[in-house]
Amino acid sequence: MSKSLLVISRQTPMSGPSAREALDIVLAGGAFDLPIGLLFMDDGVFQLQPGQQASAVQRKDLSANLQALEMFGIEHLYACAESLAQRGMPPRLDLDAVQVLTPAQMSALIDRYNQVITL
Protein backbone atom coordinates (compact mmCIF):
# COMPACT_ATOMS: atom_id res chain seq x y z
CA MET A 1 0.00 0.00 0.00
CA SER A 2 1.32 3.46 -0.86
CA LYS A 3 2.19 5.81 1.97
CA SER A 4 0.05 8.86 2.57
CA LEU A 5 1.55 12.34 2.39
CA LEU A 6 0.51 15.63 3.92
CA VAL A 7 1.92 18.82 2.40
CA ILE A 8 1.87 21.94 4.60
CA SER A 9 2.04 25.18 2.60
CA ARG A 10 3.08 28.21 4.68
CA GLN A 11 4.25 30.89 2.23
CA THR A 12 2.42 33.70 0.46
CA PRO A 13 1.62 33.05 -3.22
CA MET A 14 4.20 35.56 -4.45
CA SER A 15 7.07 35.47 -1.96
CA GLY A 16 9.00 32.87 -3.91
CA PRO A 17 8.69 29.42 -5.45
CA SER A 18 7.46 27.65 -2.29
CA ALA A 19 3.72 28.03 -2.80
CA ARG A 20 3.88 26.81 -6.38
CA GLU A 21 6.21 23.94 -5.47
CA ALA A 22 3.91 22.74 -2.69
CA LEU A 23 1.04 22.67 -5.20
CA ASP A 24 3.22 20.85 -7.74
CA ILE A 25 4.04 18.13 -5.21
CA VAL A 26 0.38 17.68 -4.42
CA LEU A 27 -0.66 17.60 -8.08
CA ALA A 28 2.13 15.15 -8.96
CA GLY A 29 1.10 12.91 -6.06
CA GLY A 30 -2.50 13.13 -7.17
CA ALA A 31 -1.55 12.09 -10.69
CA PHE A 32 -0.05 8.89 -9.20
CA ASP A 33 -3.13 8.33 -7.03
CA LEU A 34 -1.17 8.77 -3.80
CA PRO A 35 -3.29 9.44 -0.75
CA ILE A 36 -2.36 13.08 -0.35
CA GLY A 37 -3.54 16.04 1.70
CA LEU A 38 -2.77 19.77 1.57
CA LEU A 39 -2.89 22.07 4.59
CA PHE A 40 -2.65 25.85 4.23
CA MET A 41 -1.32 27.59 7.31
CA ASP A 42 0.34 30.86 8.36
CA ASP A 43 0.88 33.09 5.29
CA GLY A 44 -0.04 30.11 3.09
CA VAL A 45 -3.72 30.93 3.64
CA PHE A 46 -3.19 34.04 1.46
CA GLN A 47 -3.12 31.61 -1.48
CA LEU A 48 -6.86 31.22 -0.88
CA GLN A 49 -7.59 34.94 -1.12
CA PRO A 50 -10.28 35.64 -3.74
CA GLY A 51 -9.74 38.23 -6.48
CA GLN A 52 -5.96 37.91 -6.95
CA GLN A 53 -4.53 39.26 -10.21
CA ALA A 54 -0.97 38.04 -10.42
CA SER A 55 -0.72 39.55 -13.90
CA ALA A 56 -0.56 43.00 -12.26
CA VAL A 57 3.01 42.13 -11.22
CA GLN A 58 3.79 40.03 -14.30
CA ARG A 59 3.40 36.71 -12.48
CA LYS A 60 1.44 33.61 -13.29
CA ASP A 61 -1.66 33.06 -11.24
CA LEU A 62 -1.71 30.14 -8.84
CA SER A 63 -5.48 29.96 -8.87
CA ALA A 64 -5.52 27.77 -12.00
CA ASN A 65 -3.30 25.26 -10.14
CA LEU A 66 -5.61 25.48 -7.14
CA GLN A 67 -8.65 24.79 -9.26
CA ALA A 68 -6.81 21.83 -10.80
CA LEU A 69 -6.62 20.14 -7.38
CA GLU A 70 -10.16 18.89 -7.58
CA MET A 71 -9.63 17.70 -11.15
CA PHE A 72 -6.68 15.64 -9.93
CA GLY A 73 -8.83 14.07 -7.27
CA ILE A 74 -7.23 15.92 -4.33
CA GLU A 75 -10.12 16.10 -1.92
CA HIS A 76 -8.26 16.53 1.33
CA LEU A 77 -7.76 20.28 1.53
CA TYR A 78 -7.43 22.02 4.86
CA ALA A 79 -6.77 25.49 6.23
CA CYS A 80 -5.71 26.58 9.71
CA ALA A 81 -8.54 28.46 11.44
CA GLU A 82 -6.16 30.54 13.54
CA SER A 83 -4.09 31.66 10.53
CA LEU A 84 -7.28 32.72 8.75
CA ALA A 85 -8.60 34.60 11.78
CA GLN A 86 -5.29 36.44 12.39
CA ARG A 87 -5.42 37.68 8.81
CA GLY A 88 -9.07 38.70 8.90
CA MET A 89 -9.63 36.34 6.00
CA PRO A 90 -13.19 36.14 4.72
CA PRO A 91 -15.10 32.92 5.33
CA ARG A 92 -15.47 32.63 1.57
CA LEU A 93 -12.21 31.33 0.13
CA ASP A 94 -11.03 30.84 -3.42
CA LEU A 95 -11.44 27.09 -3.02
CA ASP A 96 -14.76 25.60 -1.95
CA ALA A 97 -13.61 22.25 -0.69
CA VAL A 98 -11.29 23.58 2.04
CA GLN A 99 -11.97 22.33 5.55
CA VAL A 100 -11.05 24.79 8.30
CA LEU A 101 -9.27 23.15 11.23
CA THR A 102 -8.51 24.02 14.86
CA PRO A 103 -4.98 23.38 16.23
CA ALA A 104 -6.15 20.12 17.85
CA GLN A 105 -7.67 18.97 14.57
CA MET A 106 -4.42 19.85 12.78
CA SER A 107 -2.31 17.74 15.07
CA ALA A 108 -4.77 14.86 14.65
CA LEU A 109 -4.47 15.40 10.89
CA ILE A 110 -0.68 15.13 10.97
CA ASP A 111 -1.02 11.92 13.00
CA ARG A 112 -3.16 10.37 10.30
CA TYR A 113 -0.53 10.76 7.55
CA ASN A 114 2.56 8.59 7.10
CA GLN A 115 4.71 11.47 5.90
CA VAL A 116 4.68 15.25 6.13
CA ILE A 117 6.47 17.97 4.15
CA THR A 118 6.34 21.65 5.12
CA LEU A 119 7.18 24.30 2.55
Partner 1 sequence: MSTLHVVSHSPFGDTRFDSCLRLLGAPDGLLLCGDGVYALQAQSRPFKQLEARLSSLQLFVLTEDLQARGLSCPTWAQSVDYPGFVELSIRFDKVNTWL
Q: Which residues bind partner 1 (CB under 8 A)?
A: 12-15, 42-43, 46, 49-57, 59, 86-89
3 or 51: CB nearest partner 1: 51
Query: Smallest distance from the beta carbon of 91 to partner 1, in angstroms?
Result: 12
24 or 82: CB nearest partner 1: 82
Secondary element (H or E) of residue 26: helix 18-31
The contacts of residue 108 (CB under 8 Å, 6+ apart) are none
How near is the Cβ of 102 to partner 1 at its closest, in Å?
A: 19
Cβ closer to partner 1: 42 or 70?
42
Residue 4 C-beta: closest distance to partner 1, Å = 29
Give 56-97 as a DSSP string: GGT---SHHHHHHHHHTT--EEEEEHHHHHHTT--SS-S-TT
